[in-house]
Structure 1
Amino acid sequence: MTDAATVDLHYLEMDSEGAPDSTPLVVIHGLMGSADNWRSHLKAWQRSRRVIAVDLRNHGRSPHSDDMRYATMSQDVLALFDKLSITQAHVLGHSMGGKVAISLARLAPERVVTLTVGDIAPVVYQHGHDDVFAALKRVREGQPKNRREADDLLAEHVDSRSTRLFLATNLARNEEDILGLRIGLDEIQRGYGDIIGLPAGDGPFEGPTLVLRGAESHYVTDDLLPALREVLPGARVVTLKNAGHWLHAEQPEAFQQAVEAFIEHHEH
């Protein structure tokens, strides 16, 4: 655990349309993402259960902080559990959010009924977001008045149109009618060493675990599976065809169905 101060996370919550007594699902986004990215999935999953998607610290509408350690970020989520009177939950995390979810499951296994990890392994990764940091800083310096201007600024560093559209979800208008960044970019960059590092906790999480990976992604390659199984020994690894790292956006129906089937199988 950590004695660092938690922050009061912003979140989206949707009540169950079907079974109010079913165990809730908590969804944790990845780096530069937010709860807003998951709205279509939340609508699908709320048919059978209450769903909550969080904005991690320095993301979305949540407060900013220099501490990006996984122990601290998982404590933020656990504090939200307590605030919402969630005793146990199904926990899903993608990418950086997957490491937060793994950390939470290792630090508080009694709170996690099932763990679903989207395209990340509990290993140290190499630096790989320099272009993203440069693009977002360029937008901040350029002070665009509209999204076309913002896209032009992002394009100076990021070629991929889909990546630019994703990064643009972090833009918000300020009082001067300028598009600024709502994320804690400087805090994220200072904490990047922790973000690409290991999840928090010691020993394995023994509970039911599903790892979904993209067939075209390099984040959970076969050579990383031994390290993954040291931390998640019971993990069922499922590969989604025609999907990369953003598998929930590239194959949304297959992703939704895999998660729903896994959770339903382990529902109390």
Structure 2
Amino acid sequence: MLLNVIERTPEPTATTSPLPVALLHGLFGRARNLGFVQRRLAATRRTLAMDLRNHGASPHGPMSYPIMADDVRETLQHHAADPAVLLGHSMGGKTSMMLALRHPQTVKALIVVDIAPGRGGFSSLDLPQGLEKLVFPPALDLHGANDLLRPLIPNDAVRQLMVQNIRLGDNPGWAIGLTDILAAFPALMDWPALPEDACYTGPTLFIRGEDSPYVQPDNYPAMQRLFPNHRLESIAGAGHWVHADAPQRFSELVEQFLAQHG
């Protein structure tokens, strides 16, 4: 499946790196969620932020991490951006890890943001019941969408994340493949079984939010086994949305890693 891509490139007069960077968002996100990071990186290198399947403007269909990894690989090849550095947050981080493990020749370096190769990663969304049965009015604006979701999603941050997935205006509804996402939710929470010799030896940077529960010491053995050439950095005061909570420090870590390996 070819994914929707937002591409940003340096100005023609800029000194550029030949190696592109692909950015992959988390569950219920979209390519533009990583826009701040993409704009910074696009000053010196080609960047491709993707809507993963069932998200943003990409097509809908069944989901699993191997399937989504294949989507990313196909999209990179279609845009002549293979190999690339992958930067993935949460679900996008698991997708990036899966692509690196299945097709290491496609991934020159890997940045995984606040997720580990194991079960977990989305419980803080407290996925509400009844989203797929939500009744939409004949027309809807942003304020109305907030009011519509508030009884189901009292948490402001989670509600703002979900509002961006509603098609506003006349004949409103879900713009995302919600049925496919909900059907795949157990698999997205989990981590697929891998061959015993699965390993990505390329340079890997794990970045976690110090206030986030998603990368814990019990994840370290799997991280070491699957990604032996990795480094783990924690950002103080940041939660799961590390790039939003600490954008300056996050960008510094990414840019330093790319200067060494990208």
- Rate the CA distance shift 1:86–1:151 in 2: closer, same or farther, 3 A: same
Gaps of at least 5 residues in structure 1 are 1-6
Q: Indicate yes or no: 2:162 matched with 1:167.
A: yes
Identity between Structure 1 and Structure 2 (%)? 34
- Rate the CA distance shift 1:126–1:35 in 2: closer, same or farther, 3 A: closer
Query: CA shift at 1:145, angstroms?
Result: 1.7
2:3 to 1, 5, 9: 9
RMSD between superposed Cα atoms in Å: 2.0
Q: Indicate yes or no: 2:189 matched with 1:196.
A: yes
- Secondary structure of 1:50 counterpart: strand
Instruction: Tell me, yes or no, if the aligned pair for 2:136 and 2:172 is still in contact at 8 Å.
Output: no
Aligned to 1:119: 114
Q: Indicate yes or no: 2:254 matched with 1:259.
A: yes
Q: Which amino acid aligns with 1:51?
A: T
**Segment of structure 1 superposing worse, 100-109 or 193-202:** 193-202
Q: Distance in 1 between matches of 2:260 and 2:193?
A: 27
Q: Distance in 2 between matches of 1:196 and 1:59?
A: 17
Q: Indicate yes or no: 2:35 matched with 1:42.
A: no
- Secondary structure of 2:10 counterpart: coil
Query: CA shift at 1:244, angstroms?
Result: 0.7
Instruction: Tell me, yes or no, if the aligned pair for 2:142 and 2:168 is still in contact at 8 Å.
Output: no
2:215 to 220, 223, 237: 220
TM-score (norm 1): 0.89
Gaps of at least 5 residues in structure 2 are none
Aligned to 1:149: 144
* Match runs of 1:102-113 below 5 Å: 102-113=97-108
Aligned to 1:248: 243
- Give the total of aligned pairs: 257
Q: Which amino acid aligns with 2:63?
A: M
Q: Which amino acid aligns with 1:192?
A: F
- Rate the CA distance shift 1:62–1:126 in 2: closer, same or farther, 3 A: closer
- Rate the CA distance shift 1:24–1:114 in 2: closer, same or farther, 3 A: same
- Rate the CA distance shift 1:239–1:232 in 2: closer, same or farther, 3 A: same
Aligned to 2:29: 33
Q: Distance in 2 between matches of 1:33 and 1:91?
A: 17
Q: Distance in 1 between matches of 2:215 and 2:108?
A: 23
TM-score (norm 2): 0.91
Q: Distance in 1 between matches of 2:35 and 2:43?
A: 13
Aligned to 2:52: 56
Query: Where in structure 1 do 4 or more consecutive aligned residues deviate above 6 Å?
Result: none
Q: Distance in 1 between matches of 2:194 and 2:6?
A: 27
2:74 to 79, 85, 99: 79
Query: CA shift at 1:266, angstroms?
Result: 1.0
Aligned to 1:184: 177
Aligned to 2:93: 98
Query: CA shift at 1:27, angstroms?
Result: 0.4
Q: Deviations over 1:121-155 (max 9, x none)?
A: 111228737843436436x4143622222212222
